[in-house]
Structure 1
Amino acid sequence: MTDLLNTIQAALALPATAPTFNGAGALPSAFAVTDLASASIAAAGQAVARLIEQQTGRLPEVSVDRRLASFWFASSIRPQGWQVPPLWDAVAGDYASADGWIRLHTNAPHHRAAAERVLGKVADRADMAGKVARWNAAELEEAIVQANGCAAQMRSAQDWQRHPQGLAVNSEPLVQRETFAAARETPWLGSIARPLAGVKVLDLTRVLAGPVASRFLAGLGADVLRIDSPTWNEPGVVPDMTLGKRCARLDLKRSDDRQVFEGLLKDADILIHGYRADALERLGYTAAEWQALAPGLIDVGLNAYGWSGPWRNRRGFDSLVQMSCGIAQAGMAWKQADTPVPLPVQALDHATGYLMAASALQALSERLRSGRGGSARVSLARTAKCLLEAGQVPEQPALRAEEPGDQGLVVEQTAWGPAHRLLAPLNISGTPLQWDLPAQELGSHRAQW
């Protein structure tokens, strides 16, 4: 725990003080997943505490419940009388190739279509397995990526260290931070109880890491507006991830929607985005464009495989990065299994999300102090390196299956029906994490502040 916390604190320029950790939580893995969960949530809490201290002179105490942190890294919502749709497409998953293992990510229809352009139409997993078995893993990975799909060959950590992209990721800091000259003097409108009241967050992220960040900021009082394309959906995670947010749709390839988006951006304090490194540039939006449109903007970006190297523009997700960087192979050896063994939760996504939130809070503190905006860049692959460097751990007893009692749940009337939401794993004295809006469907609001 100490090494992970120290590494994250150093990356965020947070004081090397220890928050309080209590409770027991264990997510069985070759790696310290519960420690990563607890440390990343604690760092986000410390960033909140430092913002409050800067504005009020009072430094709140920060504590993390390890058991709740472990649960939140899986899911924070417990539906009552309805079910969350499956997280995975029917043919997504790991397959044995002619010379090893490969993971296919087919959750989005266009990603499944890309895989089927390479492999041919498939009816089910057995059909997919038969087609994959004829391919060399590296060749299939490259073919699907070239078809604009998502796939990852299983590599060992040693192979990843020698890979050009592994070398590139190793040269990057855990958080790349920059302060801009462009200034915007804005007063602090918050309070100890709601430190982000009046802060507008424009969220262009999908699936998990970015939405984790904006969900956290919403719990501190920020006005979070999530923007999705007209056709995007992720039904398996929306009930967990849209808590506290308003959700709208815009097509940034349409001139009228671009005008709406740019109007939103001009009034935004924080922009969170998770597009590939070149995707926004192709739409005409670079970091320089952000600052020209919104001087003093805080710009927090996420990438799967890092911000340099040959894969900087590659599509990727947590499960794919785990295959590429050696986590799944190490888990397989640890478990003495004959198939890949990933982390028990999408821990790279969740931890990176809290790094994004902490980065946004640090940049906001700087802007309140100097008027200058700033940027932060993080990646799932760099978070994976942090976890790998912490080393393998002895086998832990599994987190008990029973849920927290009534004292650990809050009733929430979501767009799909009633649900129980776990209490937040983070306690900041005087600053309760609380969300003003229940989880919503994507596109359920207008694109306006």
Structure 2
Amino acid sequence: MYEFYDREITYSLGAEQASGVKTVLSGSFSLSSVFTVSELAMATIVAAAKELAALVGKTTVSVDRFATELWCSSTIRPEGWALPNPWDPVAGNYRTADGWIRLHTNVPAHLAAALRVLGTKPERSQVAAATLAWSGRELEQAVNDAGGVAAHMVGLSEWAAHPQGEAVAAEPLISWSPHHATSTRLPSFQGNLCGLRVLDLTRVLAGPVATRFLAGFGAEVLRIDPPDWAEDGLEPEVTIGKRCAGLDLRNPEDRDRFEMLLAQAHVLVHGYRPGALDGLGYDAMRRRQINPSLVDVSLSAYGWTGPWHTRRGFDSVLQVKTGLAQEAMHRTGANCPVALPVQVLDHGTGYLMAAAVLRALRLLVTDGKPRSARLSLARTAQLLIEGGVRDTIIKPTHNTHITCLPETTHWGPARRIDFPVKLDCEGPRWRYQAAPFRSAQAYWPDDVNRIGIPGRSKP
């Protein structure tokens, strides 16, 4: 099935292939699922690696299967300190009067919306009792209308027949739009991505996976978060190699700063819901006015067309809504929704975003045309569904060797699983240690050095 995914991804990236790049695969898969999760993860990270190699002049890409699976989960092992639980206590699956519903409550505003609809306190027992009084579809609609995130579980066929499922299936895996630029202003890309400026406006988890990949191989990634955004337990995972600053795009001074950053960036990666940046005054036309040569890669949850294209969503929610959780529940004989063994919708889409960035840069070097690319979690879920379903394969536990490297983080010492990708036998080199959001200045580093800006960015 890896070959199927590789073929579909190659087609989505465009007719030109990363010719001349040799791929060497090692190790073995260990995950068990009714879907070909490991093969999809492998195909997406290989695609990103091959695009990178073709851009920077490397000839061989080596990828470890087992490490790829591990990098679709938690990669850091703290020493003498602990990671907070990334999940809010209320988040999870609940029975309804006619099935199951998934509530995603990690964001305080989303938790508050669900509790307002249900009329309960943030306690699982109370939430569980309240959801039983609702039909799944009605509760899903009510929570989403209130500004929360919920998904009533359906099967594969029901999702395929739904107007949103039909819309997603009709969309390309990567939707491309070429533009005309006045200049390219690109670095030389001699062996790595040094000099490439990537402005990162993404949240959990696909977008940060994309920019983490780019940062590991030399890109200068600057992540921008609003004043109150938090991702408990995930900062050490998603910030390695990056600088993280804070801006409030409703503040005039911060808007000026953001526009300066955008004008000087080579790449913008963003994961706001469709229309959200437009509402802040930064629609696609405005972004290109600020920076005509920008490579612009964006992500949505439910796709870019259809009645739900502006709906909020996350990997775990899309698993329930697209039929993946119900199919796994049915085939395994479980009595509740069954999640994928890793969040491959997030991680797979993240590596596809990185591949899209790198392909766009390769083409920009060739023809001078910057490109925009759009991807979605739902469309990646569709690709996984198209890969087919199988009976659960329980693979034996094995002692696959994995290397963990020592690392210094803001929170203390740790060890991190060695990255699965090597280019000509060289892995990533993380320029910055993992650190909290809003811990750096909202400037490109060479600007800070040149004009001597003191202090930190605004909280």
* 1:4 to 2:5 alignment: yes
CA RMSD of aligned residues (A): 1.6
* 1:86 to 2:85 alignment: yes
In the other structure, the counterpart of 2:452 is none
Deviation at 1:207, TM superposition (A): 1.0
Deviation at 1:150, TM superposition (A): 0.2
1:378-403 Cα distance to aligned partner (Å, 9 max, x none) = 00000000001001234334584868
Which residue identity lines up with residue 32 of structure 1 in the other structure? T
Deviation at 1:45, TM superposition (A): 0.6
For residues 13-52 of structure 1, what are the structure 2 equivalents within 5 Å?
13=14, 15=17, 19-52=23-56
Q: Would you say the 8 A contact 1:9–1:16 is kept in 2? A: no
SS at match of 1:421: strand
Change (3 A) 1:127 1:187: closer
Tell me whether 74-83 or 17-26 shows the greater mean CA deviation.
17-26
* 1:326 to 2:323 alignment: yes
* 1:374 to 2:371 alignment: yes
Matched residues in 1 for 2:85 and 2:179: separation? 42
Which residue identity lines up with residue 410 of structure 1 in the other structure? L
Matched residues in 1 for 2:169 and 2:267: separation? 28
* 1:447 to 2:451 alignment: no
For residues 89-128 of structure 1, what are the structure 2 equivalents within 5 Å?
89-128=88-127
Q: Would you say the 8 A contact 2:18–2:54 is kept in 1? A: no
Change (3 A) 1:36 1:11: same
Matched residues in 2 for 1:175 and 1:401: separation? 36
* 1:72 to 2:71 alignment: yes
Which residue identity lines up with residue 42 of structure 2 in the other structure? S
In the other structure, the counterpart of 1:56 is none
Which residue identity lines up with residue 47 of structure 2 in the other structure? A
Tell me whether 4-13 or 152-161 shows the greater mean CA deviation.
4-13
SS at match of 1:438: coil
Which residue identity lines up with residue 159 of structure 2 in the other structure? W
Tell me whether 181-190 or 364-373 shows the greater mean CA deviation.
181-190
Matched residues in 2 for 1:373 and 1:12: separation? 15
In the other structure, the counterpart of 1:214 is 211
1:130-182 Cα distance to aligned partner (Å, 9 max, x none) = 00000000000000000000000101110011101001101100000121112
Identity %: 47
SS at match of 2:181: strand
Change (3 A) 1:399 1:9: farther
Matched residues in 1 for 2:408 and 2:400: separation? 19
Q: Would you say the 8 A contact 1:184–1:372 is kept in 2? A: no
Q: Would you say the 8 A contact 2:302–2:311 is kept in 1? A: yes
Residue from 244, 247, 252 that aligns with 1:250: 247
In the other structure, the counterpart of 1:190 is 189
SS at match of 1:41: helix
Q: Would you say the 8 A contact 2:120–2:130 is kept in 1? A: no
1:171-213 Cα distance to aligned partner (Å, 9 max, x none) = 1000001211123232433321xx2100000000011100000
Matched residues in 1 for 2:396 and 2:78: separation? 20
In the other structure, the counterpart of 2:404 is 409
> TM-score scaled by structure 2?
0.93
In the other structure, the counterpart of 2:427 is 432
Change (3 A) 1:259 1:102: same
Deviation at 1:122, TM superposition (A): 2.0
Which residue identity lines up with residue 128 of structure 1 in the other structure? V
Tell me whether 64-73 or 174-183 shows the greater mean CA deviation.
174-183
SS at match of 1:368: helix
In the other structure, the counterpart of 2:451 is none
Matched residues in 2 for 1:363 and 1:141: separation? 38
- Gapped runs of 5+ residues in structure 1? 54-58
Residue from 227, 230, 240 that aligns with 2:227: 230
Tell me whether 383-392 or 7-16 shows the greater mean CA deviation.
7-16
In the other structure, the counterpart of 2:456 is none
Q: Would you say the 8 A contact 2:331–2:392 is kept in 1? A: no
In the other structure, the counterpart of 1:135 is 134
Deviation at 1:129, TM superposition (A): 0.3
Which residue identity lines up with residue 241 of structure 2 in the other structure? G
> TM-score scaled by structure 1?
0.95
SS at match of 1:181: coil
Residue from 274, 277, 283 that aligns with 2:271: 274
1:276-295 Cα distance to aligned partner (Å, 9 max, x none) = 00101111111111110011
- Gapped runs of 5+ residues in structure 2? 445-459
SS at match of 1:26: coil
SS at match of 1:299: strand
SS at match of 1:201: strand
Which residue identity lines up with residue 82 of structure 2 in the other structure? Q
* 1:390 to 2:387 alignment: yes
Deviation at 1:117, TM superposition (A): 1.1
Change (3 A) 1:221 1:335: same
Which residue identity lines up with residue 162 of structure 1 in the other structure? A
Deviation at 1:258, TM superposition (A): 0.6
Size of the alignment, in residue pairs? Answer: 440
